[in-house]
Structure 1
């Protein structure tokens, strides 16, 4: 209970437990859904020792803590007996009027936040494996390479299973039903069926030409590779939640324990393969082609814009609207440019912070700069943004300028990420192609990272520091 006092102060000023509908946390923030945000004393919470800032975004009241957020979260849960993994959609009080965009951001953040840590970890292992291969330390036939590849691929290959769980938690479906829906999409026999001769072909001669390998009750089933996919399982789980609620209303409780899952899966999974999966996959492919086409219009301009505004997106939680596109690009194209273009932004931020640390005479500010710089090296920049640069405005603007230059370099070098890796320096191996090894895009990333950092430092070093 190291953060007992901070937990009590936050909960007191947020309006008490009775004002909280749900509570989760991400890498740096406690994410509350409040019944009435007007009851929260935001200015008091912002000034609590241990709180970096408060952000309202996507229908959430977010208290930015920093690196110790998981410990603060645990103390809040213990003190106030919160139920972890609460299913907020079952709470009638959450049916408030919020915009469609906020609902979208809320859904995406709720579905992706719980899995980002393990996806980043396995991505880092996959990236290191690609690095070892590129340096000649391992060969593709070696046992070590094969084992590391299994560890690196396990989560992303079975991504629908992970998202089935988190989506079910968000939409109020039984979590194991969500796992079952996700598991059906990566069922091993599907690839075996697709290796045979098709019965016939649908939509022949069009861009959605599809061979049919099996039928269900006479209805053609278009089989696709759903490994690593994102959109189909989220939509399928949402549908499953609606179907489950319908059967719960009409089936007597005495037999509901096994008959509700029976009928829910019997309806949801065939519908997913017959209708949802193909349509969602075609939409995903179009989205992948569309984003790549926009990128190809001018990679440099795309890099400048994303590099400049990425930190702004993070502040308002808007990056959650972009991350699914990146996941989709990785599953459909095998690479992604969006997450690559923002790579220099965090290094621009810590370059500015390091300059402030050298110039400032305020001991407390110097100490805050040091801790923020260290966390920023590993890609966690919220302490730097909320605690140092954003309140002083000019430093934040300068970091955006340096990030824009880095993004432009990344675009010019055609730098891509080939996996979801770690943040900050742990993201470097993500730029190594598993097929081509170290390319010019990788060297472009190194140059962009260094330029963003050095430019951020220089711009801030010749700008006046506000020590207060």
Structure 2
């Protein structure tokens, strides 16, 4: 429950648990489907500590959090008592939304839970290909075979995993969905194609197919369903409706086993006889169409997709291309479409780096640094929402760099051969079965050019710090982009880096970012207005939650818990409301030292991950009420 307060505030401002139909998350966003979006306090959420921005797109109410969104999601589910794993938040309610929004919502709901592992296994496969290309491994070595199994397994058995997510999306039994996926990749069925066919159907047509077995004398057209996406999604969609029919007519006392029994007996043959073959043919047609459109002009396609990719991401429209990517990898064994967008994140961080070097605004600089670092690894939301989009011109410049990068990818024939990582981790994904080729070099050139163009154009375009007003996100020209909270010094003394604290948990930053003070006076004052949320019985540690949401830990000395309160004299009690400058504790620091304890005192922001940055004072000595830490929101 690290983000319990943030989770509670988010739930309150989306209209409460009763206003939520469903909740999922992707890499950086909580994706709500709300019964009534007018009940959500969008402006409040946008300005909330820990929330980057809010986007309404594809029938979803998207609360952008950042890289730690899985932890926030878990706490939102826990705080709200949302039974999302059981599909209790029915996403099939009657809503007035267009077909396109329904499509985007369905695609994101089915595919987003798989993307993390899909990317991870793709990265392993990509690095394995890189090791082969560099002749560090051979394709017959045991190391290669094991790594390839790790990299291939998830994608090969993708229908099983999509069976689960699709069942969850369509409010069907999750294990029925997984079973339907397992049937499609069942080895005994696929191995029959190695033998002699019984006969051929649809002879003379483009879909002429050999028949290797029959079901109730009906010919079964066997297909290769490993790594496929369309057949299982359609199968589970149909299966969910059939399951609901059986659930409505079968008595409760036998529903547990008879509903799955009847559903599988109907849907599994239907998927092998009708849905699977038709969906596979449709998938091949989709692959051929996208390849045909790409072939008309790879350069123009690169300019279009590369230049607009970040716009697609902002509105969640990129989900419409995810099935095309996975389908192409399954049918064509490569994807030339999403491959064209590789330069977008690098153009974005090129622009951010230029702003970071040009700006004299310390608040903006402190945002740009973590945004640049996360952008290197392909997560660009902090850069987009925190730096470039609110200033408009930098965002346009990043799109220009991405468009040129896309043109290079198209001209060089670069292709994705696996669903790999983002940012620099995506580079090995451009290595094909034959090793490093022109397309791989095109990927390298494109990201370098996109990065350099974004940086150079931004650096020499006359950027001024006056361009810091957030009239795009906050929709209020008086609201500045970055809000900050100042934490004043609770002690008088000499500042020290946390690395100087002789306690590994503090020194490594495991407990949060902050600073330490070697106190010269035995008095602690409140650094903020807020509530004294924790006062340890031994009085050696104080926990404060500010009115703005900062969670501050003041830990007096190292191992001073062993004193059991000796030499400490608290002036407040747990739960008290406190004001900045109010005396919280008095202690005899000389007596504590004589007892053999180090008196160095870490001041930690326990919820550091809620902030873009925690800026430390550069003063060597501080007095009460001096600015000690600045929290960038």
The total of aligned residue pairs comes to 466
- For 2:444, the equivalent position in structure 1 comes to 446
- For 2:592, the equivalent position in structure 1 comes to none
- For 1:12, the equivalent position in structure 2 comes to 12
**Larger helix share, 1 or 2:** 1
Residue 59 of structure 1 deviates from its aligned partner by 1.2
Q: Secondary structure at the match of 1:22?
A: strand
- For 1:31, the equivalent position in structure 2 comes to 31
Residue 27 of structure 1 deviates from its aligned partner by 0.7
Q: Secondary structure at the match of 1:151?
A: helix
> Does the 8 A contact of 1:303 with 1:408 survive in 2?
yes
Cα distance in 2, alignment partners of residues 90 and 187 from structure 1: 31
Summarize deviations over 1:50-103 as a string: whole Å, max 9, x none.
Answer: 2111000111110101112122222222222222324267467x3212111111
- For 2:456, the equivalent position in structure 1 comes to 458
Q: Which of the pair has the greater relative contact order for Cα pairs under 8 Å at 6+ separation?
A: 1
**Matches of residues 252-291 of structure 1 in structure 2 within 5 Å?**
252-291=251-290
- For 1:202, the equivalent position in structure 2 comes to 201
C-alpha root-mean-square deviation of aligned residues, in Å? 1.2
Cα distance in 1, alignment partners of residues 468 and 81 from structure 2: 41
Cα distance in 1, alignment partners of residues 238 and 444 from structure 2: 44
Cα distance in 2, alignment partners of residues 246 and 58 from structure 1: 29
**Matches of residues 109-120 of structure 1 in structure 2 within 5 Å?**
109-120=108-119
Q: Secondary structure at the match of 1:27?
A: coil
- For 2:57, the equivalent position in structure 1 comes to 57
Structure 1: gaps of 5 or more residues: none
**Larger strand share, 1 or 2:** 2
Which 10-residue stretch deviates more, 227-236 or 248-257? Answer: 248-257
Q: Secondary structure at the match of 1:103?
A: helix
> Does the 8 A contact of 2:401 with 2:451 survive in 1?
yes
Residue 5 of structure 1 deviates from its aligned partner by 2.8
Cα distance in 1, alignment partners of residues 86 and 38 from structure 2: 23
- For 2:243, the equivalent position in structure 1 comes to 244
Q: Secondary structure at the match of 2:85?
A: coil
Cα distance in 1, alignment partners of residues 368 and 86 from structure 2: 36
> Does the 8 A contact of 2:391 with 2:468 survive in 1?
no
> Does the 8 A contact of 1:88 with 1:170 survive in 2?
no
> Does the 8 A contact of 2:20 with 2:89 survive in 1?
no
Q: Secondary structure at the match of 2:152?
A: helix
- For 1:155, the equivalent position in structure 2 comes to 154
Q: Secondary structure at the match of 2:416?
A: coil
Cα distance in 2, alignment partners of residues 257 and 74 from structure 1: 29
TM-score by length of 2: 0.72
Cα distance in 2, alignment partners of residues 305 and 193 from structure 1: 44
- From the CA coordinates, give the structure whose radius of gyration is larger: 2
- For 1:75, the equivalent position in structure 2 comes to 75
Residue 183 of structure 1 deviates from its aligned partner by 0.1
> Does the 8 A contact of 1:22 with 1:86 survive in 2?
no
**Matches of residues 66-215 of structure 1 in structure 2 within 5 Å?**
66-87=66-87, 90=90, 94-215=93-214
